[in-house]
Amino acid sequence: MKKNTKREGFTLVELLIVIVVIGVLSAMMMLSSTEAVSSAKAADIVSDLRNLKTAALAWYADNLDYVGGTKINNKEFNNLQGERASIIKYMNNENIDTKYDFGGNKTTGTWFVWYNIGSDTKVKEKLISRKSSTGLWGTTTKNATQSGDLDASSTYVGMFIR
């Protein structure tokens, strides 16, 4: 007698192997997409800092004044709705994040724009790798008056306007 050796489906082992392979591939995709998202966020921050710098210089050219009044100050840019709206008219991006702020030191004549990174370590790593090519500096306090090294302890990343 001849046995029927024709199979109708997959064995349990074959199905489990396929599921494991799909799981490994999806895990690899998740890791690479996380890196891409943090890299894109870092590029967005650098772009917004440059745009705000350009907008602040345009504001200065039109008003012969720093953003924030007749002196450089550390007011909350987020709360200055009129001035925020005035600066945004110089930009193409009207949906600028509220984590950006302006500051400076009147005695040294420095003026800068910064972003609150917070504790986002992946984005911070990407920004640190780009600091020399973009002119970024970092600080742990919001009221910094001079450039500091952008490193893992930095909470704020900034760019000098002038």
Model confidence at 82, pLDDT cuts 50, 70, 90, reads low
Give a yes or no: residue 37 inside a domain.
no
Span of 17-21, 70-74, 79-83, 103-107 with lowest mean pLDDT: 70-74
pLDDT of residue 89: 75
Task: Quote the tokens at residue 7.
Answer: 């199979």
In 3D space, the residue among 143, 129, 133, 4 whose CA is nearest the CA of residue 72 turns out to be 143
Q: What is the mean pLDDT of residues 140-158?
A: 79
Range of the domain at 76: 42-160
Give a yes or no: residue 88 inside a domain.
yes
Model confidence at 19, pLDDT cuts 50, 70, 90, reads very high
pLDDT of residue 69: 46
Q: Is the Cβ–Cβ distance between 123 and 115 less than 8 Å?
A: no
DSSP letter at 125 equals H
Model confidence at 72, pLDDT cuts 50, 70, 90, reads very low
Model confidence at 128, pLDDT cuts 50, 70, 90, reads very high
pTM recorded for the entire structure = 0.72
Q: How do residues 30-52 score in pLDDT, each as one tens digit? A: 888 888 889 999 999 998 889 88
Which tops the pLDDT comparison, 46 or 113? 46
Domain count, the chain: 1
Give a yes or no: residue 74 inside a domain.
yes
Task: Quote the tokens at residue 100.
Answer: 């950006």
Give a yes or no: residue 13 inside a domain.
no
Q: What is the mean pLDDT of residues 97-103?
A: 76
* DSSP result, 4-69: -----S--HHHHHHHHHHHHHHHHHHHHHHHHHHHHHHHHHHHHHHHHHHHHHHHHHHHHSSBTTB
Give a yes or no: residue 69 inside a domain.
yes
Give a yes or no: residue 35 inside a domain.
no
Give a yes or no: residue 103 inside a domain.
yes
Averaged pLDDT score across all residues of the chain = 79
pLDDT exceeds 50 at position 103: yes
Q: How far apart are the first and last CA of the chain?
A: 94
In angstroms and rounded to an integer, the radius of gyration of the C-alpha atoms of the chain is: 25
Span of 11-25, 51-65, 67-81, 83-97 with lowest mean pLDDT: 67-81
Q: Is the Cβ–Cβ distance between 151 and 90 less than 8 Å?
A: no
Give a yes or no: residue 5 inside a domain.
no
